[in-house]
Amino acid sequence: MSSGINRNTINLEEAVILSQQSFEGNQYIVRAYSPKCASRAKPGNFVHLTCDTSISMRRPLSIMRSDSQNGWLEFLYKPIGAGLELLTQKVKGDKLSLLGPIGNNFINKITRPLILALGGGVGIPPMIFLAETLQNDERFKMLVLMGSEAPFPFKLTDAKILVSGIPSIASYSVDMLEKWGIPSRAASNSGYSGCFQGHVTELARHWIQNLSLNQQKKVQLLGCGPTPMLEATAALAKEFNLPCQLAIEEFMACGVGGCAGCTVLLNTNEGPTMKRVCVDGPIFDAYQLYG
């Protein structure tokens, strides 16, 4: 089975913690100096991180931001498991072994000029990264919709960029994205002010339904989040006949394709086939995943 990966693009690097912030809902954003990885990182890539020397097993973390000039990466995570719990204790100056960037990316998957990007929970980071990457690219327009049942770990502000088809109750946007000129809205079932009350895919349906058929033909759907959200995103894409790419999460051991411990079943034109999430993904065609 071909790996589909150029291993020369994966760096083993000693990363240095620059900052770590904690947020409501047991959420953390950590920034690390990792210049080799930062110089190659693209939206959808992840790293395999040794959270502490006492635990040999690495943990995959999706990249939320990357600054190639200043050499840092940023990650959003929830401490699920012993490894990530130890990561919460790291402070500025601590060093961690980092392997990355790993996986394919959303940039190479874009086929239409109007991008609807859905992020749920810790699946939000790739959409933040994509928005920052495309902010000055005049070939594309992008709308980011994000869902969370925990408080959002970003500054939300009254939206200044108007978006037709979005219910007025969804009045908040992510301040950082607004400054980049990228419209965004938030959805939650937790009753947060300024958020659409419901699932992020329901908010997406409102927006898509408001488009003309000609406008819908320009839309591509992207998603990252928990499995139920991805299944709903795939169903939404099928309902409106939209191309759709999804970034999925899976438990990993090696993270570089050697152990085949993170395989997923795809339904391709040639028949069912198994692919490794780490090196063949983590981004796959929604119709092959849930068709």
**Closest alpha carbon to 66 in 20, 100, 95, 25:** 100
Please give the average per-residue pLDDT across 169-194, as a whole number: 97
Look up residue 151 and give its DSSP letter: P
Query: How is residue 65 written in tokens?
Result: 């931001």
Please give the average per-residue pLDDT across 123-146, as a whole number: 97
- Last residue of a domain, which of 102, 123, 144? 102
Query: What's the domain range around 192?
Result: 107-244
pLDDT score for 5? 46
**Residue 3 reports pLDDT greater than 60:** no
- Last residue of a domain, which of 244, 265, 280? 244
Whether residue 131 sits in one domain with residue 93 = no
**Residue 68 reports pLDDT greater than 90:** yes
Higher pLDDT, 255 or 279: 279
Please give the average per-residue pLDDT across 117-134, as a whole number: 97
C-beta neighbour count of 84 within 10 angstroms? 18
With respect to residue 264, please indicate whether it lies within any of the assigned structural domains: no
Average pLDDT score over the chain? 94
Is the link from the previous residue into 101 a cis peptide, with omega within 30 of 0?
yes
Helix and strand numbers, DSSP H then E, in the chain = 8, 17
β strands within the chain, DSSP E: 11-23, 27-33, 46-49, 59-67, 72-77, 95-102, 114-120, 141-147, 156-158, 172-174, 184-188, 196-197, 219-224, 244-247, 263-268, 271-276, 283-285
| Domain harbouring 39, CATH code | 2.40.30.10
* pTM for this prediction: 0.94
**Closest alpha carbon to 23 in 93, 78, 94:** 78
Give the chain's domain count: 2
Query: How is residue 37 written in tokens?
Result: 């990885």
How would residue 56 be classed by pLDDT, with cut points 50, 70 and 90?
confident
Q: How far apart, in Å, do the first and last CA atoms of the chain sit?
A: 23
Place of tokens 């190659």: 40
With respect to residue 19, please indicate whether it lies within any of the assigned structural domains: yes
Q: What angle do helix axes 227-240 and 200-209 make, rounded to 10 degrees?
A: 10
With respect to residue 111, please indicate whether it lies within any of the assigned structural domains: yes
Q: Between β-strands 196-197 and 184-188, what pairing exists: parallel, antiparallel or unpaired?
A: parallel
Question: pLDDT > 90: what percent of the chain?
Answer: 89
Q: What is the CA radius of gyration of the chain?
A: 18
| Domain harbouring 148, CATH code | 3.40.50.80
Whether residue 152 sits in one domain with residue 83 = no
**Residue 249 reports pLDDT greater than 90:** no
**Residue 254 reports pLDDT greater than 90:** no
**Residue 273 reports pLDDT greater than 80:** yes
With respect to residue 170, please indicate whether it lies within any of the assigned structural domains: yes
Helical residues (DSSP H) of 21-98, grouped into ranges: 35-40, 82-87
